[in-house]
């Protein structure tokens, strides 16, 4: 389905690895810590420091599994030629492309709110000690209606290469000449191939605000040792494709279950908007909500006796936990932390009603030709899983082959075929999650993990109570829901799913 890519020469020595990193890079891979920027709810962004340029300057880019380009929603990488008020928000932290190689291609994207435009250039990009000599990226000269900050300067796209806007205009090639290949394609095709990660996967874990139980990491060919002791616990599946190929990390949704008074209530998920037997969902770390159709949203909240407010959005009493799980493909159900599913209004932490972080987005999800699918599983879902984006299939025990791709003349890799698989491992223990919800929402206390055991769940250990029994033991009483309208900025307005 996807073309083979081979490029990205690794020149000189790898740069020094940060003391916070795990692993040394090269064939062994590396685990890099991520920083959570923003409030952690409505404007959550998990950023990674990287270096761009021949005289490298550090930028903080959001890791985004819904985009393939090394480009920033805030604003691709704002360049020194940008004079808009949005670029002024960077405090002078702007990318200077004057020493980069021009491609004579212009990048532009129009959102429902906002516009970004600028030239595409080739420049050196360093991440975790891995250096790509000629990575295609966009240097934004015009940015409107984007809240740039000194700590959030760009985006590192981790969607599959076919979803790349830049690659659609600058075709990838199979030698070391500069082209438009996505960053991940270049990373796993570094030459000499002995310097590239031997395990061709990227992975993510996303922290929860106020808790250190699950850290934020980006893994490059290496699992974080404190989360993954047994790689076989990561369950892999094939991806849902479209006519043009596999664009997103997209899976099928087999079931959604809401637990009410200890009893499971199945939500009718129906068929996909494409006519497929099951609806599909894209995993997207760049969206701070779970977005779905009104039918599914009504089913989830309806299990609690809640309907949409007068503004069409959903509100839940702040003391009521939304206990639910999602079943994807043939995996066991994945429980979601109730603190991830509702949020206090940004201007009132004493409010009676909280904003549901599962919302309907019918205009964006009802078009079967959009390629998005029927749901977007954003940050509220991904905080509950360790996510592995594999570019080749793992072995039955969850490990990846150590084989080195064959090379042609000049050390160029000749086989970089992408055979993607998505791996997920649940990180949320329902008993711990409910206890943390009660601590925060009912006792108004911060979460403390210092006296708790590790809250991750990888499928091993002693027998655990079912999700329904746990909910029965800890469920708080219902409150009658009245209409409470809070302002909410729809992050989807700032995103366009390409192709």
Highest mean pLDDT: which range of 11-15, 52-56, 192-196: 52-56
Q: Structure tokens of 385?
A: 């899983």
Walk me through the domains of the chain, giving residue ranges and CATH numbers.
34-199 (2.40.70.10), 230-399+418-446 (2.40.70.10)
Assess whether pLDDT exceeds 50 at residue 12. Answer: no
pLDDT tens per residue across span 404-460: 544 444 444 444 578 899 999 999 999 999 999 999 999 999 986 544 333 333 333
Is residue 195 very low, low, confident or very high in pLDDT (cuts 50, 70, 90)? confident
Looking at residue 229, its pLDDT comes to 94
pLDDT tens per residue across span 302-350: 999 999 999 999 999 999 999 999 999 999 999 999 999 999 887 766 7
Q: Is the pTM of this model over 0.85?
A: no
Average pLDDT (397-406) is 72
State percent of the chain over pLDDT 90.
51
Assess whether pLDDT exceeds 60 at residue 466. Answer: no
Looking at residue 449, its pLDDT comes to 55
pLDDT tens per residue across span 220-279: 999 999 999 999 999 999 999 877 788 889 999 999 999 998 899 999 999 998 899 999
State percent of the chain over pLDDT 70.
77
Is residue 169 very low, low, confident or very high in pLDDT (cuts 50, 70, 90)? low
Looking at residue 499, its pLDDT comes to 40
């Amino acid at each position: 389905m996807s073309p083979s890519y081979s490029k990205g020469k690794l020149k000189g020595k790898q740069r020094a690895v940060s003391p916070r990193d795990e692993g040394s890079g090269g064939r062994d891979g590396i685990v890099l810590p991520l920083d959570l920027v923003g409030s952690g709810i409505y404007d959550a962004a998990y950023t990674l420091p990287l270096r761009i340029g021949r005289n490298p300057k550090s930028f903080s880019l959001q890791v985004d599994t819904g985009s393939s380009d090394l480009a920033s929603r805030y604003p691709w990488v704002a360049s020194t030629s940008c004079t808009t008020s949005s670029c002024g928000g960077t405090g002078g932290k702007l990318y200077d492309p004057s020493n980069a190689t021009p491609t004579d291609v212009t990048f532009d994207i129009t959102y429902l709110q906002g516009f970004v435009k600028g030239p595409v250039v080739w420049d050196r990009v360093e991440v975790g000690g891995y250096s790509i000599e000629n990575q295609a990226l966009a240097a934004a000269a015009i940015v409107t209606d984007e809240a740039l900050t000194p700590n959030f300067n760009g985006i590192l796209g981790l969607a599959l290469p076919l979803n790349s806007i830049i690659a659609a205009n600058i075709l990838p090639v199979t030698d070391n000449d500069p082209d438009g290949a996505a960053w991940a394609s270049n990373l796993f095709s570094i030459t000499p191939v002995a310097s590239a990660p031997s395990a061709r996967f990227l992975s993510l874990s996303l922290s929860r605000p106020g808790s250190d139980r699950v850290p934020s990491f980006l893994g490059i060919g290496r699992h974080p040792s404190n989360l993954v002791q047994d790689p076989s616990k990561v369950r892999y599946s094939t991806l849902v494709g479209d006519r043009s190929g596999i664009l997103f990390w997209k899976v099928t949704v087999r079931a959604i279950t809401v637990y009410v008074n200890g009893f499971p209530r199945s939500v009718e998920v129906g068929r996909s908007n494409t006519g497929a037997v099951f609806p599909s969902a894209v995993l997207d770390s760049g969206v701070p909500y779970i977005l779905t159709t009104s039918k599914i949203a009504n089913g989830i909240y309806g299990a609690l006796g809640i309907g949409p407010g007068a503004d069409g959005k959903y509100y839940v009493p702040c003391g009521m936990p939304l206990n639910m799980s999602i079943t994807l493909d043939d995996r066991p159900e994945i429980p979601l932390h109730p603190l991830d599913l509702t949020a206090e209004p940004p201007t009132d932490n004493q409010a009676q009603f909280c904003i549901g972080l599962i919302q309907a987005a019918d205009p964006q999800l009802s078009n079967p030709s959009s390629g998005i699918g029927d749901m977007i599983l954003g940050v509220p879902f991904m905080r509950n899983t360790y996510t592995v984006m594999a570019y080749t299939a793992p072995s039955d025990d969850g490990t990846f082959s150590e084989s080195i791709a064959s090379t042609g003349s000049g050390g160029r890799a000749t086989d970089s075929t992408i055979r993607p698989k998505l791996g997920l491992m649940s990180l949320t223990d329902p008993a711990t999650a409910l206890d943390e919800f009660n601590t925060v929402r009912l006792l108004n206390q911060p979460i403390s993990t210092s006296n708790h055991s590790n809250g991750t769940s990888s499928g091993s250990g002693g027998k655990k109570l079912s999700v329904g029994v746990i909910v029965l033991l800890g469920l708080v009483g219902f409150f009658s829901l009245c209409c409470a309208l809070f302002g909410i900025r729809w992050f989807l307005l700032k995103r366009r799913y390409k192709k």
